[in-house]
Amino acid sequence: MEQKNKISGIYIGLLGLVTLACGLADIFVWAGINPGFQVGILEIAGDDFFRWAWGGFIMVCAGLFMIAGSRNALSLQQFAKVTLGGVLVWVIAGTDIFARICENIPAGEEAPEFLNSLSGFIGGFAPPYPPAVILLPFTLVILYLLYTQAYDTE
Amino acid sequence: MADSTKKKITVLMVGNPNVGKSALFNRMTGANAMVSNYPGTTVDFTSGTLIEGRQEYEIIDVPGTYSLEPRDAAEEVAVRMIRDHPDAVVMIVFDATKIDRGLYIALEVMEQGMLCIVAVNMMDTAHDKKISVDTADLQKVLGVPVVATTATSGEGIRELAEQIRKAQVADLDKIIKRLNGEIPDKKSVGGCGGCGGC
Amino acid sequence: MVLSTDSRWEVVDRIARRTVAYGTYKRTLGDVLGELTVKPLTGIPVAVAALFAFWSIFCSFAGALVTDGFMVKLFDSHWLPWLQSVWPDPASWHYFVFVGDPLADNCFEAFGVLTSGLFVSIGVVLPAILIFYLMMTVLEDSGYLPRLAVLVDSVLHRIGLHGYAIVPMILGLGCNVPAVTATRILETRKQRFIMMTLLAIFIPCGAQLGVMLEVIPDMIGLVFLCLIGGFCLFGYILNKVIPGENPEILVDVPPYHWPIRENVVKKMWNRTKSFLKEAVPFVLFGVLLVNLLYLGGVIQALAAFFEPLFVTWFGVPKETVGPLIAGFLRKDLAIAQLSVIPMTAYQMFASVVLISIYFPCVATFVIMLREGWKELCAALAVLFVVVFVYGGLIHAIGILLGVA
């Protein structure tokens, strides 16, 4: 238990740091400090206020929550913070994915037909992705800890 | 109440806000009252019909109120409904995790000398919170039928519907005397709580 | 027998002690999460995230998927051409009323009952309302809404309201009609009056949001900022001016739980149904009436009369006066009408803000009348003052910034 607590704590702390960094990057790119960048499958477009400044702020908070909860991470009080941090990342990633689904079901303005072709639909999910979506698989650990009730129930 | 007449009986559902009155109401009538997990959704009343044992009931979902001294417009509706239906059966709905608040308004209703029945709702939440409510004992003390229900899953709804006909006028004197131990508890007969309604 | 309050509580106490047993209760993760979402330090980011999700899903579903993805195509390249080809005599009055402009190539700009009227109500507003009510239902059924109420309580106290006012406010973003009814959860007449007035003036309904999203997607943030600013400013003033109490609330925060699917579906259906029944006929009827008034020259006459006021005081071009007056019958369509008038960004912005703040649609008008005619008259008086002052203020700021 002690061992597990420690490993989870380190993992969550690191995840929190990365999330924080992503959030700050979102905001910086939006503010024009960096003109938008793409590394591998990661892309921060930073083009609109709502998604990048507002969303970036949420990512920053998510990172801070996880960092705050990383010490003695599996105690009830601390794990609640971690969960909340995870939920915030899921909100951003979830809305990003939902937006892609919604954009890719219709065929687009020019095409005569209504529905997108299957290949076109799947093609819409090709990289690059925003940071929250890339972080998503790494936050699944929190979901796992949540479902297995690995935290203390005291 | 050996009601063999087919006259429609009005049932008023009264209770604190957010105790699941609307959910219970929907379960019983199949009507569409707004159900929410926040207090104060029912600001107007909704009514629906329940037919049980060849008796037709008109069930009215009254807005939640903490007492019969109204604080806001929605609570005023509740008070007016009770005043306008002196012959109605009042179904007082409790939140099993907050029995005392429910009891307060129950006593206020009972003071009006109305026919009463109590539904102790949200038993599942109470169970989760490790709160247990002795509904049989509650029935003995109050002298009106008490039914444990969980509106979200539908538990106890049928019994509640069956018990409406056994609604009683509570006697506050007797309640106090029972609490003081001046009236010995009746021996319960065959699982009956001894409300004396039969 | 009637008991006094004290002895009643005593009896309650004794019964409860006898019948209720409390086991040792272990706090669950849900409880701790519940506390965290109410504390400002953690609660405010969560609220910000909830709003983000709300708006993002709203835009993706109503904007990108249904309206832009399907409805625009359906109405513009199938319905409109068909209607234009089968309706007889493009020069007749009935063509003007029902189909509108014979040269229009999209349903937004045709302004007929069966073109713009149908497109706005079914193609733009209906998906917006649907997704709005779905999210609203999930928020309230999960138990997040009362926590939001606690969180915003202290802010709302400054404008004469309290935390629960968040319920009519959020409902108002869907439709003002149920929102006005929901003001009954506020205790005093003062609170209800402030809430109703602010609702009618500063909170755009789902219909308007949907149309704004279509017509001026880039400016929504700014328009919102102006509306929120006005909401706070005039709430503060109303609170100072109107006599009456603003009592504290007893918030009953229910535990979090997963929304029950059938409950969510049922509620969404009920709300959407009442929208279809109450609002859609109003849209169609509103378009019909506006078109008839145009035909009869009434709108033009009114526009000519009010033109100096609008042009000099608010700084909007004279072509907007017609739509602004017609907006009383249906605000959302007025925004669509504005979109075809060539204007500078500032003029567009000012006219959208104006149309948002001034009086709500006829349906809201009727429902407010039901709540009390005195309040309605007072709200109307406040409205005129607000439109005049705030419209002028925005114009003044525009002049100072050199954009007007």
Tell me the C-alpha distance between B98 and B121, whole Å.
Answer: 10
Structural domain range at position A12? 2-147
How much is the pLDDT for B43?
57
**Residue A113 has what DSSP assignment?**
S
Total Cβ atoms within 10 A of residue A85: 30
For B97, name the nearest residue in chain C, comparing CA atoms only: C20
By C-alpha distance, which of A68, A89, A75 is closest to A141?
Answer: A89
Burial readout A54-78 (b: 16 or more C-beta within 10 A, e: otherwise): bbbbbbbbbbbbbbbbbeebbebbb
- The yes-or-no verdict on residue A20 having pLDDT over 90 is yes
A54–C32 C-beta distance less than 8 A: no
In this complex, the chains that touch B, judged by 3 or more CB pairs closer than 8 A, are C
CB-closest option in C23, C26, C254 to B37: C254
A153 is a domain residue: no
Strands B115-121 and B89-95: parallel
- Tokens (6 digits) for C54: 């709300």
Please state whether the peptide bond connecting residue A128 to the residue before it is cis, i.e. omega within 30 degrees of 0. yes
C18 three-class SS: helix
A77–C49 C-beta distance less than 8 A: no
Q: Please report residues of C whose CB lies closer than 8 A to that of A54.
A: 48, 52
**Least confident span in B57-71, C11-25, C29-43, C243-257:** C243-257
Task: Indicate the number of domains in chain A.
Answer: 1
Over residues C89-113, the mean pLDDT reads: 80
Q: Which chain A residues in 44-63 lie under 8 Å from chain C, judged by CB atoms?
A: 49-51, 54-55, 57-58, 61
Bridge partners, residue B46, by sequence: B61
CB-closest option in A77, A101, A114 to C70: A114
- Tokens (6 digits) for B186: 């009746």
- Tokens (6 digits) for A32: 């024009």
Cα–Cα distances (Å) from A127 to A51, A106, C69, C363, in that order, read 18, 20, 22, 47
Question: Which domains are present in chain B?
Answer: 9-180 (3.40.50.300)
CB-closest option in B37, B172, B176 to C257: B37
* Claim: this prediction has a pTM higher than 0.95: no
**Residue B48 has what DSSP assignment?**
E
Tell me the C-alpha distance between C226 and C222, whole Å.
Answer: 6
- The model's pLDDT over C197-218, given as tens digits with 9 standing for 90+, comes to 888 888 887 777 777 777 777 7
Residue with tokens 């029972």: B178
C27–A106 C-beta distance less than 8 A: no
A129 three-class SS: strand
Task: Reduce the secondary structure of A96-108 to three states and give it as a string.
Answer: HHHHHHHHHCECC
How much is the pLDDT for B30?
65
B125–C185 C-beta distance less than 8 A: no
By C-alpha distance, which of C132, C168, C18 is closest to B133?
Answer: C18
Q: How confident is the model at residue B188 (pLDDT cuts 50, 70, 90)?
A: very low
C72–A105 C-beta distance less than 8 A: no
List the domain boundaries for chain C.
34-245+264-401
How much is the pLDDT for A1?
62
The DSSP annotation for B149-180 comes to -BTTTTBTHHHHHHHGGG-EE--HHHHHHHHH
> Amino acid identity of C361?
C
Q: How confident is the model at residue A91 (pLDDT cuts 50, 70, 90)?
A: very high
- Tokens (6 digits) for C16: 């409860």
Size of interface B-C (CB pairs under 8 A): 125
Tell me the C-alpha distance between C162 and C337, whole Å.
Answer: 37
**Least confident span in B43-52, C24-33, C167-176, C312-321:** B43-52
For C49, name the nearest residue in chain A, comparing CA atoms only: A58
C99 three-class SS: coil
How much is the pLDDT for C128?
79
- The model's pLDDT over B105-137, given as tens digits with 9 standing for 90+, comes to 899 888 888 899 999 988 888 888 888 888 888
- How many residues are listed for chain A in this entry? 154
A152 is a domain residue: no
**Cβ-contact C8, B107 below 8 angstroms:** yes
Tell me the C-alpha distance between C22 and B100, whole Å.
Answer: 13
Strands B55-61 and B46-52: antiparallel
